[in-house]
Amino acid sequence: MPTKFDGLLDHGRLEDVNLNSATWKPVRTARWSLDAVRPEFLSLRPGSPKKKPTVRPTAWLDGLRGFAAFLVYWHHNMLWSHAGKGNFIFENAFGYEGRHYFATLPFVRIFFSGGHFAVAIFFVISGYVLSVKGLGLIQKGQTQHATDGIGSALFRRWLRLYLPILAVTFAWLCIRHATKIWVDMPDMNGTFREDVRTWYQTFKNYSFVFDTNIYAFTAPYHPHTWSIPIEFKGSIIVYTVLTALAKCTRNARLWCEIGLIFYFLYIVDGYFGALFMAGMLLCDLELLAQDDQLPRLLSMLTGFKELIFFHLFIGALYLGGVPSFDALDVDRTTLISKSPGWKWLSHLKPQAVFDAKWFYLFWAAFLAVASIPRLPWLKYFFETRFCQYLGRISFALYLVHGLVIWTLGDRIYAATGMERPGHKEGIPGWINKFPLSTKQPVGFELAFWVPQLVILPATLYLAEMVTKLVDEPSNRFVNWLYRQTLPPPQSPKR
């Protein structure tokens, strides 16, 4: 494992590279190669190291982001392995239409179908992360430095998000054409050359911030990447608001942030804008709290914060399990109103929100991220080595877990008895090759959990490889590219 990882929130200026290394270059290359292929998750053994590493104040955010990516992994594996019935069972409430499954109980359901909740948390975390340095400078009155930082971040953001998408989807396209492997997805678009042309044409529209037809790219090449254009749009909102409010007073800035949340959630259908702005608001309040500059009303509640936020976190977990069954003939608002435990809550949804689940997921993610740093036992969990490890590979884990499901996972599930309709035509030789019991309660079948002994390590290892070979190098490249555009530093005048 690398000896140092500063995390998403604590990257400083790029350090100069020492080219006068005493280490022989072939040896250095060999060490790098070994580090690249060595699985890091095997080193996550129980027990504390002799010297405990210093925990950064924002480490819990990295851990939360990683654990959220882990929830997405479980969500997609559950739905895929249970085929058509998985969506109906896991994404409906406990007791819906008289069906009662333990895996759909409130709170419990987060671990089986918490992927939507996790994505909402991603967006709140991004709003927090993208604004933390700018807000810190703004609160100190260093608006010029804040503006410079916002410009730098905006320059790098598109490349930072989309370069890994380009690499992973192009590699996936090449693998499908080279191996002719069957996957339960749309067929390839003719020849390799034709498919590359379609891949390029759809990607350029998918990555255009004002385009709305993102699914022309995601459907054939990577369905899970639908959230990346939304991530970019939310980033633009944060950078714009930071610039606009840079010279405002503290109270004016806070009220504007609250007003924008209200606008995105209750006036227009902009749930993602509300999520990003919620992250920005939480960051602003956190930085103010560190300097004892909170508004008087919030300062008065400081002594009760653990009691208050414990109950808010419980509410967040309940709202995070909002029924999300997705079908063409199902109206989400009607579905929620007919779901046990959600009838009265369904009346809270504002008219502006088109997809009802995002209203409840906004409040779930907002309250969860607000509560975690104020509950020491919960914050400690996200600072553990396992969550920090997940945080480091979270972007790659989000990108590659689907590839493993569609290839290796699909075949292992078929072999253990978790059959999908397409298996008889696509991989008939794998069906019930090593049958395991499926008589356990839904979500607890041996035929699902035993395959995780192979699928989970394979997914984590592939995520590590993509982090080391794609994600981190692309981040370094983007930083280098930005530095090339800057004028040389001026020598001080004498």
Kindly state the percentage of the chain with pLDDT values over 90.
Answer: 78
Whether 62 contacts 7, CB under 8 Å: yes
Tell me the pLDDT tens digit for each residue of 77-89.
Answer: 999 999 988 889 9
Please state, in angstroms and as integers, the Cα–Cα distance from residue 82 to each residue in 88, 447, 448, following that order. Answer: 10, 10, 9
For the chain, the residue count is: 494
Residue with tokens 């590699």: 171
Q: What span, in angstroms and rounded, lies between the C-alpha atoms of 217 and 165?
A: 11
Q: Is residue 356 scored above 80 in pLDDT? A: yes
* pLDDT (0 to 100) of residue 333: 86
Whether 132 contacts 287, CB under 8 Å: yes
Q: Is residue 5 scored above 60 in pLDDT? A: no
Global pTM reads 0.90
Query: What confidence category does residue 55 fall into, taking pLDDT thresholds of 50, 70 and 90?
Result: confident
Other beta carbons within 10 angstroms of residue 222's beta carbon come to 22
**40: CB partners within 8 A, 6+ apart:** 1, 389, 464
Q: What span, in angstroms and rounded, lies between the C-alpha atoms of 56 and 61?
A: 10
Half-sphere CA count of 438, side-chain side, radius 13 A: 15
DSSP conformational letter for 10:
-
Backbone angles phi, psi at 117, to 5 degrees: -60, -40
Written as one string, the DSSP assignment of 400-465 is HHHHHIIIIIHHHHHHHT---TTHHHH-GGGTTSS-----SSTT--HHHHTTHHHHHHHHHHHHHH
Q: Is residue 442 scored above 90 in pLDDT? A: yes
Whether 281 contacts 258, CB under 8 Å: yes
Assign 3-class secondary structure to 85-127: HHHHHHCCCCCHHHCCCHHHCCCCCHHHHCHHHHHHHHHHHHH
* pLDDT (0 to 100) of residue 165: 98
Q: What is the mean pLDDT of residues 311-332?
A: 90
Q: Is residue 111 scored above 60 in pLDDT? A: yes
Query: What confidence category does residue 3 fall into, taking pLDDT thresholds of 50, 70 and 90?
Result: very low
Whether 69 contacts 463, CB under 8 Å: no
Instruction: Name the average pLDDT for the chain.
Output: 90
Kindly state the percentage of the chain with pLDDT values over 70.
Answer: 89
Q: Is residue 9 scored above 50 in pLDDT? A: no
Query: What confidence category does residue 2 fall into, taking pLDDT thresholds of 50, 70 and 90?
Result: very low
* pLDDT (0 to 100) of residue 34: 66
CA torsion 367→371→373→377, rounded to 10°? Answer: -140
Query: What confidence category does residue 8 fall into, taking pLDDT thresholds of 50, 70 and 90?
Result: very low
Q: What span, in angstroms and rounded, lies between the C-alpha atoms of 279 and 274?
A: 9
Residue type, 237: I
Backbone angles phi, psi at 286, to 5 degrees: -65, -45
Please state, in angstroms and as integers, the Cα–Cα distance from residue 465 to each residue in 169, 398, 403, 458, 461, following that order. Answer: 15, 13, 14, 11, 6
Higher pLDDT, 297 or 20: 297
* pLDDT (0 to 100) of residue 84: 80
